[in-house]
Amino acid sequence: MNPSAQGAAGTGTGRVRAAAAATAAESVRIPAQPGVADVARDRAGGTGEPDGAARGEHTHSEPPAPRPSAARPPAPGPRALVQRSSVRGQILDALRTALVTGELRPGEVYSAPALGDRFGVSATPVREAMQQLALEGAVEVVPNRGFRVVERGDRELAELAEVRALIEVPVWLRLARTVPAERWARLRPLAEGTVRAASAGCPATYAEADRAFHRAVLALSGNEQLVRIAGDVHRRAQWPPAAAPAAPAARGRADLVADAHEHTALLDALIAGDPDVVRSLVGQHFTGAP
């Protein structure tokens, strides 16, 4: 081979070797290392937020807390509050029932933890319910002990009955002149419900049915504040006095039935549009209302 050909061949061989070396280098090239921000973003689930270690927090060896993904938003925060409020409401209803039936005795002190064990809940919803009852005047706070059921005398109950009459009687008489008979007729199921509750002889059941009927009547006025205030006074008037006589159960049932039948008689007079009978029955009902 002449020198020029040999040089050409050498040059060609060199080009082939250079190309091969470049290809080999390309095949073993080390990928670029991610920076600290990239690592933090990957650990955070691609959200761009660094995890605890990247923020300088000491995370020990515990697994990272789950983070909400962008595709599935987290559950709304108020959910737990609604559930807690529901428990407190149930405990509040149960305590009100115990007050009406006398199961929670006037003058006695009850602790939130003890009542919580009784209801199978923590002391927190019981304490919150008791604080509501304290605002309503049913119990009073005893520091470091719990809540004392307020003792009510005959005078206080008479005053509450008077307040009820002052609030409700004028409204009933005004509604008797303005509400048509067909609207009164819609209250028939509630009035009959009080009779059924009275026949059962349970004071708590009757108290609830009684309030429902009176609330429906007052709601015809369209005055929400009136309904709320009258309902609060009505509830307080239903709590038993401190030294209630141990009357036989039959007599107690008879008193409830008599009161309930006043509801149906009143409704009949309202539907008939007889103002004189309505005035007489309303006065009688609130004078002897429990």
Other C-beta atoms closer than 10 Å to the C-beta of 247 total 10
Domain map of the chain by residue range? Answer: 81-149, 154-287
Residue 191 CA to residue 213 CA, distance in Å, equals: 6
What Cα–Cα distance (Å) separates residue 4 from each residue in 1, 8, 18? 8, 6, 21
Nearest CA to 131 out of 117, 112, 153 is that of: 112
Asked whether the beta carbons of 247 and 141 are under 8 A apart, the reply is: no
Nearest CA to 237 out of 264, 263, 214, 261 is that of: 214
Residue 272 CA to residue 184 CA, distance in Å, equals: 10
CA geometry: angle 215, 217, 219, nearest 5 deg: 65
Instruction: Tell me the mean pLDDT per 10 residues along the chain, length 290.
Output: 46 46 42 38 40 37 39 42 68 92 91 93 94 92 93 88 95 96 97 95 92 98 97 89 51 85 96 93 79
The predicted pLDDT at position 179 comes to 97
One fold for 81-149 and 154-287: no
Instruction: Report, at the CATH architecture level, how domain 154-287 is classified.
Output: Up-down Bundle (1.20)
The predicted pLDDT at position 168 comes to 96
Residue 151 CA to residue 148 CA, distance in Å, equals: 9
Q: Please give the CATH topology (third level) of the domain spanning 81-149.
A: Arc Repressor Mutant, subunit A (1.10.10)
